[in-house]
Amino acid sequence: MPKYFGTIYAPYKTEYSVGNAFVVSLCGLTSSLGGAYLADRWERNGTYMGKAYICILSALLGIPTIALCTLVQNSFWFSLGMLGLEYLFAESWLGPSITMVINTVSPKNKGFAVSAYLFFATVAGTIATELLGVLQQYYNAKDHPELYGYILFAFVLFSYAGSIPFMWLAGRHYTAFKIKEDEEKERIKNLS
């Protein structure tokens, strides 16, 4: 994102530094806490798919906001505002997704499961960053700076849209697991 803003909106480097810090801190924090709160609330009310719904909604709402941020390239403030909305909507997936992992793994493997999850997410981000650089060179984005936004959007679209079916599957698995867990608790309660 810094390469995109630094290229398309070069005169706004200071504004981007301050604005991006605000977006990442305030909008990212609000999104993370809001997503976690809603997911936990829905689960307490018996909606076990709630955690998956938060992940899916974050991806679905992140797509149009990042599209507007990176494809509409004529207003710094508009792009920064769309980046803020993208963070506000799209950063709510991490807590619910990790909670689904933690709640479905045996207690002796929870640390390993979360570590593996974060490791693979980091590896995917590293590979994507490298591939992004290769594509920017291949398409000669230095001479056609508008391509930075187009290529960046394609990457985000692929990752957000590609994650939706897997979030749905995770939610279905999580729901089945929690229902089975509830039935077992009820069975044990009835025995006593």
Q: Which pLDDT value is given to residue 59?
A: 96
- For residue 142, the model assigns a pLDDT of 87
pLDDT digits (tens, 9 = 90+) for 55-110: 999 999 999 999 999 999 999 999 999 999 999 999 999 899 999 999 999 889 99
Q: Indicate the pLDDT class of residue 191, thresholds 50, 70 and 90.
A: confident
Report CA Rg, the chain.
Answer: 20
Residue 135, pLDDT above cutoff 80 = yes
What does pLDDT average to over the chain? 93
Q: First-to-last CA distance in the chain?
A: 58
Per the domain annotation, does 190 fall within a domain? no
CATH code for the domain of 125: 1.20.1250
| Residues 117/137, Cβ–Cβ less than 8 Å | no
What gap in Å lies between CA 130 and CA 141, rounded to an integer? 15
* 34-56 pLDDT tens trace: 999 999 999 999 899 999 999 99
Q: Give CA–CA dist 84/16, Å, rounded.
A: 12
Question: Is 112 part of any domain?
Answer: yes
| CA 107 to each of CA 44, 102, 110, 131: distance values in angstroms, whole numbers, following the listed order | 21, 8, 5, 37
Asked whether residue 192 is domain-assigned, the answer is no
Question: Residue 191: inside a domain, yes or no?
Answer: no
Q: Within a domain: residue 87?
A: yes
> For residue 192, what pLDDT is reported?
73
172 assigned to some structural domain: yes
pLDDT exceeds 90 at position 150: yes
Model pTM? 0.88
Q: Which domain holds residue 15?
A: 2-182
Domain count, the chain: 1
Q: Is residue 82 part of a domain?
A: yes
Does residue 89 form part of some domain? Answer: yes
